């Protein structure tokens, strides 16, 4: 099973190739250049470096959010195009879930992991998970304790401490940005590239025969884009 995955939720983003439950290659993008400038070139470079052809890929994966609204649209459109051209499935992956899976890979069952993605405005996109025994990067590996939401870090920590005895790990660029708020209440794990995790998650889902119609992939926004809110205000519908 060969999988090509793309993450454009953040400025740098990443590209990864996985084969038979192993990440063959993962590359972080150049944050000085936009995703529009780098795609699909970053994908073609990764394929060339691994000696793969795009036609040899069995499934595609894209991190569908939350994250940069523009980045999400560009990333999803790029991977939809490749999926349609080659007639292969396209799996959408949550950035929050991918972050938690990376941190869960070497941790025991029972550990609580919070994923925070910087939402700006001094807010983070967040979700809380409990690690379970099971195959790494499979759906069974994580139990969702608190559903994805957007909020102020202090309020999220207060809510979560009422849900679980301890928050063991916080990961993501949101956790890094608000490390001072977190203090000693949890370990702040390094923010990983997400394309590799997305590739492994998609590989397991593809093996299980999960349907993955590229036309059905939509961005995971959590917070609505400003342009939609502005449009409704202008129309007087809010």
pLDDT at 106: 87
pTM higher than 0.85 for the full model? yes
pLDDT at 235: 59
Q: Where are the beta strands (DSSP E) in the chain?
A: 2-7, 14-19, 23-28, 59-65, 90-94, 112-120, 123-131, 142-151, 169-171, 187-189
Question: Do 163 and 146 form a contact (C-beta atoms < 8 A)?
Answer: yes
pLDDT at 28 over 80: yes
pLDDT at 138 over 70: yes
Per-residue pLDDT, averaged over 123-131, amounts to 98
| Helix, strand and coil percent figures for the chain, each rounded to 5 | 40, 25, 35
pLDDT at 112: 98
What domains are defined for the chain?
A: 2-95+193-235 (3.30.420.40), 96-189 (3.30.420.40)
Say which range, 163-167, 200-204, 231-235, has the weakest mean pLDDT: 231-235
Q: pLDDT of 178-199, one tens digit each?
A: 999 999 999 999 999 999 999 9
Q: pLDDT of 216-234, one tens digit each?
A: 999 999 986 554 434 544 5
Q: Tell me the percentage of the chain whose pLDDT exceeds 70.
A: 94
pLDDT at 46: 98
Q: Sort 150 into a burial class: Cβ within 10 Å, 0-12 / 13-18 / 19+.
A: middle
């Amino acid at each position: 099973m060969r999988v090509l995955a793309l993450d454009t939720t953040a400025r740098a983003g990443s590209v990864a190739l996985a084969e038979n439950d192993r990440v063959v290659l993962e590359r972080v993008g150049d944050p000085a250049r936009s995703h529009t400038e780098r795609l699909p070139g970053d994908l073609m470079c990764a394929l060339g470096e691994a000696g793969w052809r795009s036609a040899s890929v069995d499934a595609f994966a894209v991190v569908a959010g939350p994250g940069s609204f523009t980045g999400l649209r560009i990333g999803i459109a790029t991977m939809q195009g490749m999926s349609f051209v080659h007639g292969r499935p396209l799996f959408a992956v949550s950035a929050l879930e991918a972050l938690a899976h990376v941190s869960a890979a070497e941790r025991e069952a029972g550990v609580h992991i919070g994923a925070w993605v910087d939402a700006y405005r001094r807010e983070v996109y967040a979700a809380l998970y409990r690690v379970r025994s099971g195959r790494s990067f499979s759906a069974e590996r994580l139990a969702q304790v608190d559903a994805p939401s957007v909020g102020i870090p202090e309020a999220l920590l207060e809510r979560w401490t009422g849900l679980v005895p301890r928050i063991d790990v916080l990961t993501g660029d949101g956790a890094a940005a608000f490390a001072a708020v977190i203090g000693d209440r949890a370990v702040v794990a390094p923010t990983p590239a997400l394309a590799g995790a997305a590739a492994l998650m998609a590989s397991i889902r593809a093996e299980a025969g999960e349907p993955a119609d590229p036309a059905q992939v939509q961005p995971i926004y959590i917070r609505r884009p400003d342009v939609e809110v502005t449009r409704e205000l202008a129309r007087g519908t809010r």
